[in-house]
């Protein structure tokens, strides 16, 4: 087999591994994301529990970077403290290393089981939670399969005459090997994928243990760079935790590399095989960084704050987020197709603002102050302004001669804009009042009650994104799925209300105190979902899929 074919097979196997890792992570985020976020918020006040929760979350998401970004956003919102956030990230790094350990075992039998079970679950139901569970199973099966493919693809490299020369070079130049591993990890955006690739190659005898450990340290450097780069345009509060992680893990990898190259300790104690030695070195490094990070947490936090403040202009010349450029070009009114395209662009911006409001409101139920409340109310003012401008613009456009399709599209955009304005009003005039009531009374939901609310909200938010997509794509299949979700949420509301009344019957003090807020919030979210679903009715009517009262059966 030629070298180019070997590299092609290896590239395909690595690509499958990256895709499978992302598939598992997105499945977990969509199915259990809100529950995981709630758990993380609830345990961040205890340093020990912050480490444990960060570890568990990284194992579930198969990504320490995802946890770092999540914790950084919490720190930026004031939900968690910066030092507690850094400890959670330390735990996440250990969780990421443990995932590599788990996947290093012989899991061949999982491939057919996970692929068959996951595909069956995904195709057998329309329930989002079950479909995402099926996605997770398929992702796990593909991940294990990709590891087998990497092993098989790299087998011919044993007989390569060039590879020993390359390995010898990197063994004699560990700094280059260290930086190459860091670059590889940054390109993968996954330390798990990078270490698994090293382990697979080491299992075929292609990488010696000393070089493998040097490259594992490089992987940790590359992984620590990803989150700061992804958050470089975020507010300063969000960037503190990723920068702190870079200081600890990135600088720590360089310090350990220096010690390793200076002392040249034996590596046999790390395991009986080269893959075990590489994996255990990866775990040991992150445990060392955790132990060192506990006494240094306050110092690293202050240093990361100083770095972020140094890199942030004290008084930017103009706040970019306040700039609003309208797409409603008056000169395009004489060409209805262009005018409708401009109006669509502006409605999409309204969709984006409403999505921000809908995303933010559930966070305020847990942590809010007057500044947060005013900021959300200001977004509703923006929606109102754009709503009025779009209506006036489209009214001017209708004066011109339009085709039947253009007239229908015009009415569709006006209807969508009206419904988006109503959604904004519900969030600000109803749900924001519930937030203020909860804040003033220092009330807390029961764990079951909060799980119901956050799950219901997650479904409505997912439906909002579907509705916004249909507004652009006009895809009948997605529109039909959204209307079917409306029926599912109706059943969900009944179950949630029934569970709430059962808790009231049992005399739960928290349920009694928050009863009206709980039930009113469910009602408001259901009303928002109905408005969003009605945005796609014109698409269904155009395709003949909507009767006078409900979807036609297929």
Instruction: Give the CATH number, domain containing residue 539.
Output: 1.20.58.220
| Whole-number pLDDT of residue 319 | 45
What pLDDT, in 10s, does the model give residues 512-545?
Answer: 667 778 888 888 998 998 998 888 888 888 777 6
Same domain for 155 and 111: yes
d(CA 114, CA 126): 19
Same domain for 235 and 373: no
Q: How far is CA 475 from CA 211, 264, 539, 543, in A?
A: 52, 62, 7, 10
Is the distance from CB of 154 to CB of 206 less than 8 angstroms? yes
Last residue of a domain, which of 281, 310, 339?
Answer: 310
Same domain for 340 and 262: no
Same domain for 405 and 256: no
Torsion of the alpha carbons at 346, 350, 356 and 362, rounded to the nearest 10: -170
Same domain for 366 and 289: no
Q: pTM (2 decimals)? A: 0.59
d(CA 140, CA 501): 39
Mean pLDDT of 201-219: 89
Exposure on the CB side of residue 496, measured as CA atoms within 13 A:
26
Q: Is the pLDDT of residue 320 over 50?
A: no
Would residue 224 count as lying in a domain? yes
Q: Which residue has the higher pLDDT, 46 or 529?
A: 529
Same domain for 29 and 170: yes
What pLDDT, in 10s, does the model give residues 151-196?
Answer: 787 777 666 777 778 888 888 899 999 999 999 888 887 888 888 8
Would residue 322 count as lying in a domain? no
Most confident range (mean pLDDT) of 46-55, 100-109, 135-144, 185-194 is 135-144
Would residue 548 count as lying in a domain? no
Same domain for 430 and 521: yes
Would residue 198 count as lying in a domain? yes
Same domain for 480 and 402: yes
| Whole-number pLDDT of residue 241 | 85
Cβ neighbours, 10 Å, residue 174: 19
Same domain for 464 and 342: yes
Would residue 80 count as lying in a domain? yes
Same domain for 336 and 303: no
Would residue 551 count as lying in a domain? no
Give the total number of structural domains in the chain.
2
Mean pLDDT of 357-380: 84
Same domain for 339 and 244: no
Would residue 196 count as lying in a domain? yes
Arithmetic mean of pLDDT over the chain: 82
Q: Is the pLDDT of residue 281 over 90?
A: yes
Same domain for 299 and 179: yes
What pLDDT, in 10s, does the model give residues 488-509?
Answer: 777 777 777 777 677 666 665 5
Would residue 324 count as lying in a domain? no
Which residues form the domain of 393?
Answer: 331-543
SS (H, E, C) 145-162: HHHHHHHHHHHHHHHCCC
User: If you count them, how many residues does the chain have?
Assistant: 554
The three-state secondary structure class of 83 is: helix
Q: What single string gives the DSSP state of each residue in 175-230? A: HHHHHHHHHHHHHHT-HHHHHHHHHHHHHTT-S-HHHHHHHHHHHHHHHHHHHHHH
């Amino acid at each position: 087999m030629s070298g180019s074919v070997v590299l092609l097979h290896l590239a395909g196997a690595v690509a499958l591994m990256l895709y499978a890792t992302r598939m598992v992570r997105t499945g977990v985020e969509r199915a259990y994301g809100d529950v995981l976020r709630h758990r993380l918020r609830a345990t961040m006040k205890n340093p020990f529990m912050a480490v444990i929760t960060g570890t568990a979350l990284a194992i579930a998401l198969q990504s320490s970077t995802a946890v770092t970004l999540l914790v950084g956003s919490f720190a930026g919102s004031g939900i968690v403290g910066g030092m507690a956030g850094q400890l959670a990230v330390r735990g996440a790094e250990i969780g990421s290393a443990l995932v590599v350990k788990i996947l290093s075992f012989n899991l061949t039998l999982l491939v057919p089981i996970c692929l068959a079970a996951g595909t069956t679950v995904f195709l057998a139901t329309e329930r989002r939670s079950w479909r995402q569970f099926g996605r997770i199973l398929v992702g796990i099966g593909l991940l294990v399969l990709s590891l087998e493919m990497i092993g098989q693809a790299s087998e011919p490299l044993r007989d390569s005459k060039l590879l020993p020369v390359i390995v010898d070079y990197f063994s004699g130049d560990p700094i280059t090997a260290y930086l190459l591993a860091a670059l590889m990890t940054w390109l993968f955006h996954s330390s798990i994928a990078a270490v698994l690739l090293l382990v697979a190659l080491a299992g075929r005898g292609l990488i010696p243990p000393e070089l493998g450990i040097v490259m594992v340290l490089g992987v940790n450097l590359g992984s620590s760079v990803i989150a700061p780069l992804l958050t470089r345009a975020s507010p300063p509060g969000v960037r503190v935790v990723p920068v702190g992680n870079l200081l600890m893990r990135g600088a720590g990898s360089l310090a350990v590399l220096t010690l390793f190259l200076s002392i040249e300790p034996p590596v046999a104690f790390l395991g009986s095989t080269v893959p075990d030695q590489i994996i255990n070195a990866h775990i040991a490094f992150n445990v060392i960084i955790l132990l060192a990070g506990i006494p240094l947490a306050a110092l690293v936090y202050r240093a990361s704050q100083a770095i972020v403040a140094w890199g942030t202009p004290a008084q930017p010349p103009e706040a970019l987020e306040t700039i609003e450029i309208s797409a409603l070009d008056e000169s395009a009114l004489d060409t209805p197709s262009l005018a409708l395209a401009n109006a669509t662009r502006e409605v999409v911006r309204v969709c984006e603002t409403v999505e921000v409001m809908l995303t933010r409101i559930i966070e305020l139920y847990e942590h809010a102050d007057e500044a947060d409340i005013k900021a959300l109310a200001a977004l509703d003012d923006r929606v109102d302004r754009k709503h009025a401008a779009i209506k006036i613009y489209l009214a001017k456009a209708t004066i011109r001669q339009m085709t039947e399709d253009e007239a229908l599209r015009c009415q569709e955009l006006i209807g969508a804009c009206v419904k988006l304005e109503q959604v904004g009003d519900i969030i600000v005039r109803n749900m924001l009042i519930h937030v203020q009531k909860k804040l003033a009374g220092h009330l807390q939901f029961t764990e079951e009650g909060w799980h119901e609310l956050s799950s219901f909200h997650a479904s409505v938010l997912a439906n909002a994104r579907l509705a916004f997509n249909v507004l652009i794509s006009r895809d009948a299949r997605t529109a039909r799925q959204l209307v079917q979700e409306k029926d599912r949420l109706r059943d969900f509301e009944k179950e949630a209300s029934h569970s709430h009344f059962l808790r009231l019957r049992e005399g739960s003090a928290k349920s009694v105190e928050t009863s009206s807020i709980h039930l009113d919030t469910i009602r408001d979210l259901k009303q928002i979902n109905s408005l969003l679903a009605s945005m796609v009715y014109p698409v269904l009517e155009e395709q003949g899929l909507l009767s006078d009262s409900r979807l036609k059966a297929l």
